[in-house]
Structure 1
Amino acid sequence: MTKPFDSQAFAYARQFADHAFKAQALVLKGLEQVAVLQLGALEQQSRAAADFLLAAGDARDPEALRGLWDKGVALGRAQAEQAVALTQGVAAVGRQTAESLGALVQPLAAANDAAVASAGGGRKAAAR
């Protein structure tokens, strides 16, 4: 009498474990993409800052210092633009990961509904 229920419960548990493993893989893939984006931005900003510091070290006269001011403003603007682009990239990766997780959950929700429906039918039959 409990064998059909046990087999259904084990099948559901196996399906849940498979989906949990897939979900973990999706999340790790998303985190990897975010880390790549952030490291790329860090590398670009580090190079730009190093170039600016080299230019600052080479400034010997007032004209060079005035030019350095313009370079500093341009560096700040470029870094702000890179920060916005990075934020948009991270948001896109998060949205893509969320959509993938949502698609992964739909079959599991359908299986859950089917299990609840069959369990409810079993209760009605037992009550008679």
Structure 2
Amino acid sequence: MFEQINTQSLALGKSYADAFVKAQGLALASFERITELNLKTFEDRVKASVDFWSEAAEVRDFEGAKAISAKGVQLAKESAEKLYANSQEVLGVSLKTSEAIGALAKGSFENTNETLTKTVNAAKKATGAR
């Protein structure tokens, strides 16, 4: 009887360990994708800012200052839009990862429940047969 309990405990432990490894893999893949999105956005915005400031450094008169100020406003608007779009994409990746991990956990709990139910039913039959 103890051997059966130990075997079942080991099987359940292995099942949970497998689920945790899969969840960790999903979380790491999500983290990698989010980092990639953020770095891409950061790189794009730094490049746009450097281009703007390089052009602004060449301004020598009032007309040039007027033109560059309009470009500065446009840069700020574009940056805000890009950062918002990036945050929405990051949120989408986070939600998909959360859903996948939730489904994994649900499947693991359902599998454990089925295993325990089968074990209890088998034990009931074994004690009822005596």
- 2:2 is aligned to 2
Q: Matches of 2:60 and 2:80 in 1, distance apart?
A: 28
- 1:52 is aligned to 52
Q: Matches of 2:116 and 2:64 in 1, distance apart?
A: 76
Q: Structure 2: where are the runs of 5+ without partners?
A: none
State the AA in 1 paired with 2:99: E
- 2:42 is aligned to 42
Same amino acid, percent of matched pairs: 29
SS in 2 for 1:60: coil
RMSD: 2.1
Q: Matches of 2:96 and 2:25 in 1, distance apart?
A: 14
Q: What CA deviation, in whole Å up to 9, does each residue of 1:94-116 have, x standing for no partner?
A: 01101111221122111232354
SS in 1 for 2:60: coil
State the AA in 2 paired with 1:87: S
SS in 2 for 1:58: coil
SS in 2 for 1:33: helix
Q: Matches of 1:13 and 1:118 in 2, distance apart?
A: 17
Q: Structure 1: where are the runs of 5+ without partners?
A: none
Q: Matches of 2:107 and 2:87 in 1, distance apart?
A: 32
- 2:30 is aligned to 30
Aligned positions of 1:6-17 closer than 5 A: 6-17=6-17
TM-score with structure 2 length normalisation? Answer: 0.88
Runs of 4+ displaced beyond 4 Å? 118-123
Query: How far is 1:32 from its partner?
Result: 0.2
Q: Matches of 1:49 and 1:59 in 2, distance apart?
A: 16
Q: Matches of 1:42 and 1:69 in 2, distance apart?
A: 22
Q: Matches of 1:92 and 1:40 in 2, distance apart?
A: 17
Aligned length: 127
TM-score with structure 1 length normalisation? Answer: 0.89
